[in-house]
Amino acid sequence: MAKRVGIWLRVSTEDQVRDESPEVHLARAQAYADAKDWKVVEIYRLDATSGKSVIELPQAQQMLSDVRSGHITGLVFSKLARLARNTRELLEFSDEFQQYGADLISLQESIDTSTPAGRMFFTVIAAMAQWEREEIAERVAASVPVRAKMGKNTGGQATYGYQWKDGKLVPDPEEAPIRALVYELFLQIKTKQGVARALNEKGYRTRNGHKFSYTTVGRLLRDPTAKGVKVANYTKSRGEGRGWELKDESEWVTHEVEPVVSEEIWDQCNRILDQGAANKAERPRRPTTYLFSGYVYCGRCGGKQKLYPQTGWDKYRCTKCANKIPMDDLEELFQRNLAAFLVSDVALDMLASKAEDRIKDRQRLLQVHRKELDGIQSKIDSCFELFHEGAMSGLEVKEHAKPLENRKKQLQEEIPAMEEDIESLKRHRDSRDELVAQGNTLAERWSSYDQEAKRDIVEGSLDRIIVHPDGVEFEFNYIPGSFPLT
């Protein structure tokens, strides 16, 4: 089947003055395609256009769309300066073409990435892009301590209960009362899980619209920002897609911000946390001896019979039919296919679907809150009408209206926060790059995890494993996938 290519024509006004008409460039490109027996299916024409920035132009966007869809698998143009005169855009074009297996063919520079020699172009371009990323990263890293000492934003969103306003970190009027409530509830309940449950039952949600969890409550309790001490410049990146690690404490920068709780309350809560951690450390934890215990089933027996660790043989074995698999082989298959699952379109679509479900749940709850607010206002109005008609005394109005006013105030604070949460959820639903990076990091660092960390990943991602005589079937979060043993 003939290779399907497009021809890129971009000629500036100056070129046309020099009689370098689009027809001349088209004839050269068509001749090259004919010599290669390629089929020209598209011509992208940008007449009298400056090359300073073209990637956002409709013709460029259409061309990139055709590359992504596979409509064209190559682009022929007269020279690199005709594609773009902006280095960053050239890198972006190259990145897109390499990602989708398409070729760039520049006639003047004799670059044809469909050939082994031409593919060196992608290598050089990739090196340039990496150098540029590292240069930017170094400049950003150098500016972080300076900005931190000035109390300015060093990246990322503000901690829950705060917002960046006019370059300063200040309490968020909607979230700050809830952040303070976390500490008050913890002093009463004494457990993070109990606080999370109490917040969720009251209808409160995190900034992203999720329910409060044990982990989220613990992080908020430990964060000293709430008592007026903002810590910055305390982490550094291990590299692209490899997570973060703490810096030496001598590099940390602290500055004062407006507190949402007193230092005394913050200290009391953290003493309780410290004591709980100490008590937990004193209790011996039962070690996890086998990574997949309880998750491995026999396919030969219909997927109902479990395979059990065979002591001394490093295998999982069915006690009914003797079907078995080496433990090391199973771990290698799990690692490889978990990585494939986490970055697959199926998994990402599933996560997007779950986010959509959460959005719908939040929208329903928002509708309930608005309806409740309208009902409360109607009841308050009725109380005052009865008072004016002499059917209710001032004391009775006060007794009936006060709890209604309190609930009204609470709803007026919660409804805007819920609306913002829904918008944040929508942004999260449409963001896939972060999820892909997390999946790649998890797979790449698998061998560095200890047994307990690996077991946590197994429990968090796996439903079960079915070992067949000719292969292994993994069921990740109710999305099955079969992978051969060979």
Cα 400 to Cα 398: distance, rounded to the nearest angstrom: 6
Cα 474 to Cα 287: distance, rounded to the nearest angstrom: 24
| H or E stretch at 309 | strand 307-310
How distant, in Å, are the alpha carbons of 37, 117, 407, 440 from that of 99?
24, 18, 54, 16
In degrees, rounded to 5, the angle at the alpha carbon of residue 168 between the alpha carbons of residues 163 and 174 is 25
Q: Which residues contact 64 (CB under 8 A, 6 or more apart)?
A: 93, 96
Task: Enumerate long-range contacts of 287-291, CB under 8 Å, 24 or more apart.
Answer: 287/451, 287/452, 288/451, 288/452, 288/455, 290/316, 290/327, 291/327, 291/331, 291/451, 291/454, 291/455, 291/458
Cα 305 to Cα 297: distance, rounded to the nearest angstrom: 6
How distant, in Å, are the alpha carbons of 301, 440, 452, 478 from that of 473?
14, 21, 23, 12
> For residues 90 and 35, is the Cβ–Cβ distance under 8 A?
no
Amino acid at 247: K
Tokens of 192: 């993070």
Tokens of 259: 């507190």
Helix ranges (H only) for 283-344 are 327-342
Tokens of 355: 């986010």
How distant, in Å, are the alpha carbons of 181, 218, 223 from that of 187?
10, 13, 16
Tokens of 200: 């969720």
Cα 171 to Cα 162: distance, rounded to the nearest angstrom: 4
Q: What share of the chain is helix, strand, coil (3-state, %, to 5)?
A: 55, 15, 30
Number of H helices, E strands in the chain: 15, 18
Catalytic residue numbers, as ranges: 12
Neighbouring C-beta atoms of residue 195, cutoff 10 Å: 27
HSE, side-chain direction, 13 A CA sphere, residue 449: 17
What region does 233 belong to: left with phi over 0, alpha with psi -120 to 50, or beta? left
